[in-house]
DNA sequence: TATTGTTATACTCTATAACTATA
DNA sequence: TATAGTTATAGAGTATAACAATA
C-alpha cells in the first residue's frame, strides 16, 4: 500500500499548491501568534493595518481584509471588547468611523509584529534565502496585479 | 481618503501573501470547474487522485486531502450518490474499502482535468512563463519538504 | 486490543438580507 | 435617494467524540 499518493492529476495547478501550502502557513501563525495571543489571522492583519494606517474606516477594511462589511463589524466588536481597538466618530460625517489602536492595542500590535518577523524561518528552511524572497515577490506580484 | 491601505506590517510574511493569493485562485477554480460541474475543490482533487491512483482507501485520502476521516466519508457519500465513485470491499480485509471511479466518474474526471490544464492562464498572465514555473516549483518544494 | 470506516454533534466561518442613522 | 455601519439569520465548512464491524 502506497503511503504517498500520486498527485500527477493536479501537479500543473498553481492554485492547488497554493491551497496546500496555506495549511502549514496557517499552522505557523497559530503556533507563534494565534494561540499565545488569542488572535485569528484576520484579527492579526487588522492590528497590522491599524499600526501603519491609523484611523481607517470599516469601509476601507472591507476590500483590504477581503471580508464582507458585517464581518468587519463583528471583528471590531471583539477587538474593542478586549480594549485593543476603539471606534471614533468622524467629525464631518456622522455615519463614518475611524478605527484606532488603544495604548494596549498598540503595545500588542508592536509585540506580535516583532514576533512575526522571524516566525516563518523554520517553515521556509528548505528554501534558500533567495528562493524565499523570490516566492514572496511572485505572490505579491500576482496579487498586486489583480483587483485589490 | 486612501483607496489602498499600506500593507507594510505584513509585507514580510509569505503566509500572508499565500492566503491572499489563494482567494483569486479559488475563484478561478469555481468559474471554470466548480460552478459548471458542481464540484468543490476537495471533490475535484479526489477525482484527480482517483484518476491516477485507482482503488485507494479513505484511510489513504485523509493525509492526501488534508481532511479528517469523517469528512472523507461524507465526501465519498456525495460522489457515490452522483454515481461518480463507487466503494468496493477489500477481499482480504473486510474493514477496508477501495474507491473506484465509475465510467461516468472517469469521463467527468478526464473532462475537468483537460479543462484545468488551461484555466489558470488569465490569472497568471502577469507572470512570465518562467515565473509561473518558478512559483509552482517553489510551492511544491515547500510542501514536499514538510510532512505530507 | 487495534484498526477501518461511520454516525452524531457541535463549532466556526462565511454570506446575504433587512434595518438604523446620517447625509 | 444614497451611504456607513449594524443586526439578524441561514448556510457551508470543519473538528471531535462515540460507535459498529472486522482484524
pTM: 0.95
Q: How close A104 gets to chain B, by Cα (Å)? A: 18
pLDDT the model gives residue A22: 96
**CB-based contacts of A77, cutoff 8 Å, min separation 6:** none
| Residue B7 forms part of a structural domain | no
Q: Please report where in the chains the cell 507594510 appears, as a residue.
A: B8
Residues in chain A: 148
| Residue B5 forms part of a structural domain | no
| Residue A78 forms part of a structural domain | yes
Q: Are B89 and B97 in contact (CB under 8 A)?
A: yes
Q: What is the pLDDT of residues A37-90, one digit of tens each?
A: 999 999 999 999 999 999 999 999 999 999 999 999 999 999 999 999 999 999
Distance CA A70, CA A57 (A): 13
pLDDT the model gives residue B125: 96
Report residue A82 as a C-alpha cell. 478586549
Nucleotide nearest to A59 (CA to C1'): D4
| Residue B6 forms part of a structural domain | no
| Residue B4 forms part of a structural domain | no
Q: Is any atom of nucleic acid chain C found less than 7 Å from the CB of residue A94?
A: yes
Provide the mean pLDDT of chain A. 96
Query: Hey, of B20, B106, B116, B144, which one would you mutate to test binding to chain A, going by the most A CBs within 10 A of its CB?
Result: B20
pLDDT the model gives residue B36: 96
Report residue A111 as a C-alpha cell. 509585540
Q: Is any atom of nucleic acid chain D found less than 7 Å from the CB of residue B71?
A: yes
**Cβ distance of B135 and A142 shorter than 8 Å:** yes
Q: What is the pLDDT of residues A113-122, one digit of tens each?
A: 999 999 999 9
Q: Residue B109 is part of which domain span?
A: 14-145
Query: Could you tell me which of B5, B110, B61 has the C-alpha nearest to residue A52?
Result: B5
* pLDDT average, residue stretch A92-107: 97
3-state secondary structure of A109: helix
| Residue B120 forms part of a structural domain | yes
| Residue B2 forms part of a structural domain | no
Q: What is the DSSP string of B103-122?
A: HHHHHHHHHHHHHHTTTTTT
The total number of structural domains in chain A stands at 1
Distance CA A40, CA A56 (A): 20
| Residue B3 forms part of a structural domain | no
Q: What is the pLDDT of residues A122-148, one digit of tens each?
A: 999 999 999 999 999 999 999 987 754
**Cβ distance of B17 and A139 shorter than 8 Å:** yes
Q: For residue A37, what is the domain's CATH number? A: 1.10.10.10
The radius of gyration of chain A from alpha carbons, rounded to an integer in Å, stands at 19
Q: Is any atom of nucleic acid chain C found less than 7 Å from the CB of residue B72?
A: yes
Scanning residues 51 through 70 of protein chain B, those with a beta carbon under 7 Å from any atom of strand C turn out to be: 57-59, 69-70
Amino acid at each position: 500500500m502506497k503511503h504517498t499518493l500520486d498527485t500527477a492529476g493536479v501537479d500543473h495547478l498553481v492554485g492547488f499548491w497554493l491551497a496546500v501550502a496555506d495549511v502549514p502557513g496557517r499552522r505557523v501563525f497559530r503556533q507563534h501568534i494565534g494561540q499565545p495571543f488569542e488572535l485569528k489571522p484576520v484579527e492579526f492583519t487588522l492590528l497590522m493595518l491599524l499600526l501603519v494606517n491609523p484611523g481607517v474606516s470599516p469601509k476601507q477594511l472591507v476590500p483590504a481584509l477581503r471580508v464582507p462589511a458585517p464581518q468587519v463589524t463583528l471583528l471590531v466588536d471583539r477587538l474593542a471588547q478586549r480594549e485593543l481597538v476603539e471606534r471614533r466618530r468622524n467629525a464631518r460625517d456622522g455615519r463614518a468611523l475611524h478605527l484606532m489602536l488603544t495604548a494596549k492595542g498598540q503595545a500588542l500590535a508592536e509585540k506580535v509584529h516583532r514576533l512575526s518577523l522571524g516566525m516563518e524561518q523554520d517553515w521556509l528552511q528548505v528554501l534558500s534565502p533567495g528562493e524565499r524572497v523570490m516566492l514572496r515577490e511572485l505572490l505579491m506580484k500576482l496579487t498586486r496585479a489583480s483587483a485589490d
